Amino acid sequence: MNLPVIIKFVIDLLAVLLLALGIKGLSKVKSARDANRLAAFAMSLSVVGLLSYYLGTSGIAVQSWIWIIIGTIIGSLFGAILAKKVPMTSMPETVALFNGCGGMSSLLVALGVAIFPLSNSVENLDFFKSLINEVSISVSIFVGAITFTGSIVAMAKLQGWLSTPGWTQSKVRHFVNIVFAVASLIAFFDLINGNTSSIWLLVIVSSLLGIGVTLPIGGADMPVVISLLNSYSGIAAAAAGFVVDSQLLIVAGAMVGAAGLILTQVMCKGMNRSLVSVLFGGSLSAQSTTSSGSGEYTNITSCSVEECALTLEAANKVIIVPGYGLAVAQAQHTLREVTKKLEQNGIEVVYAIHPVAGRMPGHMNVLLAEADVPYEQLKEMDVVNPDFPATDVVLVLGANDVVNPQAKNDSSSPLYGMPVLDVQEARTVFVIKRGMSAGYSGIKNDLFDLPNTSMVFGDAKKVLNDLIGELKDLGVGEK
């Protein structure tokens, strides 16, 4: 073993260790930020390791440097700009976009190696080795393409650029996807047989498969898909690791792939959806329109902001249930002002966070943290549920499906079995909502019909602003 090999070995080992510590640290609130930086450092270290290895062995041509610098500057610049500019509410879309680009990168590497075999892989034309090479190239292209197109479709759907076409809700989509999958398989075997031109078929069909699988999935299930695609991009990276013979790539890719799977599982549990039904069941709303006939509300009570303020003033304990609607209205800061006033009046305020509040697990925590809500006030569902009977007022802001009692009471409901917040147990429930439109799942919310529920209609931000005014008039929070 010569020196460059040893140096690279040590650096790679260190990088893997730091990456593992980084992922580990990301799972604790205290260490998360440092852990993220540690992981970023480990990534830079791995680049230094690779470049120093080539400098010490074959050398790096000037031409190569130029292209390295071009790619680095353009990619980093766009990434940094987007990361700085994007609003926190669009986090799921952003992660999807980044993820898709990671998949694209693995795809391109495999494509490059397939079209122009690297010099060292031509030398050893061992049958077994070339088979492994072709299999890893195919896997990298297949998974990379699905990751890319799937992520882009997921992003477009979350941004509202793309709606769910009608035909994708019919059984036709299964047929179409099976055709794509079979075609990918044919291209895969053709490629292994040595027919290099079928690589383009593989690229095209697996890209179409990514679109075909993601397009029918409804908005509510999109986070699960993004998490799954995140796992795929790890697998694609690991496959690319086999292509270029890099252990570091394989370890890091495998770690991300496995971690993504666990996270996907957690999300599915939170929504009481199995991964299979997310992937093949189509959009939840499409099923519910045919299955549930009880679409009409019969007993809606609406009330003014003033009444709401009066009830809040008299309360001892208030629980806030924030949902994505709150984030869309950018009302988390206004909400914080309202709760500050209540706290100054000695009222206990707690935020009940459903596991899938927002659009991703933990998304709501990020949004509330942005508004300076103390971490201790955020209570998870299991912790807060026993508290509802002893609560005077619950404010539901832009949440819908996660407070639907149907999930507990109505076994025919598509939501049945999903863990929900038992807000109806509280004395009074105020639901602040734009109108009577259904939630993400498109299912009627029985909560709205209950006698202790009052609807306050209006944009969340405007209602909360009015609420601040009313509370001021009542002298709440004034010293």
Partner 1 sequence: MSFISLLWVLLLGSLLGLELIGKVPPTLHTPLMSGANAISGITMLAALTLIVKAEGNVPLLIIGSVSLGFALFNVVGGFFVTDRMLAMFSRKSSNKK
For partner 1, the binding residues in 95-124 under the rule CB under 8 A are: 95, 98-99, 101-102, 104-106, 108-109, 111-113, 115-116, 118-120
Strands 428-433 and 393-397: parallel
- Whole-angstrom Cα distance, residue 102 to residue 70? 18
DSSP per residue over 172-193, as a string?
HHHHHHHHHHHHHHHHHHHHHT
- Measured from the CB atom, is 28 or 479 closer to partner 1? 28
- CB of 364 within 8 A of CB of 289? no
The answer to whether 33 contacts partner 1 (rule: CB under 8 A) is yes
How far apart are CB 474 and partner 1 at their closest, in Å?
A: 28
Sole binder of partner 1 in the list 14, 50, 186, 204 (CB under 8 A): 50
Cβ contacts of residue 233 below 8 Å, gap of 6+? Answer: 99, 100, 102, 103, 106, 143, 144, 147, 151, 256, 260
Q: Is the dihedral of CA 216, 218, 221, 222 positive or negative?
A: positive
- CB of 400 within 8 A of CB of 409? no
- The number of beta carbons lying within 10 Å of the beta carbon of residue 305 is 22
Question: Of the listed pieces 93-101, 284-292, 451-459, 468-476, which binds partner 1 according to CB under 8 A?
Answer: 93-101
- Measured from the CB atom, is 255 or 476 closer to partner 1? 255
CA angle 17, 19, 20 (to 5 degrees): 65
* Of 221, 401, 422, 446, catalytic: 401
The answer to whether 68 contacts partner 1 (rule: CB under 8 A) is yes
The answer to whether 383 contacts partner 1 (rule: CB under 8 A) is no
Sole binder of partner 1 in the list 165, 295, 374, 386 (CB under 8 A): 374
Alpha helices in 346-409 (DSSP H): 363-370, 381-384, 406-409
Closest by CA position to 439, among listed 464, 413, 410: 413
- Measured from the CB atom, is 90 or 169 closer to partner 1? 90
The answer to whether 10 contacts partner 1 (rule: CB under 8 A) is no
For partner 1, the binding residues in 338-367 under the rule CB under 8 A are: 353, 355, 358, 360-363, 365-366
The answer to whether 249 contacts partner 1 (rule: CB under 8 A) is yes
- Measured from the CB atom, is 60 or 185 closer to partner 1? 60
Residue 401 catalytic? yes
The answer to whether 243 contacts partner 1 (rule: CB under 8 A) is yes
Sole binder of partner 1 in the list 150, 216, 241, 398 (CB under 8 A): 241
- Measured from the CB atom, is 153 or 236 closer to partner 1? 236
How far apart are CB 370 and partner 1 at their closest, in Å?
A: 5
The answer to whether 80 contacts partner 1 (rule: CB under 8 A) is yes
Amino acid at 188: F
- CB of 253 within 8 A of CB of 236? yes
- Measured from the CB atom, is 223 or 439 closer to partner 1? 223
Q: Residue count at the site for partner 1 (CB under 8 A)?
A: 119
Sole binder of partner 1 in the list 9, 13, 14, 36 (CB under 8 A): 36
Question: Of the listed pieces 170-178, 225-233, 288-296, 419-427, which binds partner 1 according to CB under 8 A?
Answer: 225-233
The answer to whether 91 contacts partner 1 (rule: CB under 8 A) is yes
The answer to whether 478 contacts partner 1 (rule: CB under 8 A) is no
Reported as half-sphere exposure (CB side, CA atoms, 13 A), residue 67 has a value of 4
How far apart are CB 122 and partner 1 at their closest, in Å?
A: 11
How far apart are CB 46 and partner 1 at their closest, in Å?
A: 6
The label of the residue with tokens 């992937």 reads: 279
Q: Extract the tokens encoding 333.
A: 């800061």
- Whole-angstrom Cα distance, residue 103 to residue 144? 4
- Whole-angstrom Cα distance, residue 479 to residue 466? 20
Closest by CA position to 143, among listed 263, 15, 243: 243
Which residues are identified as catalytic? 401
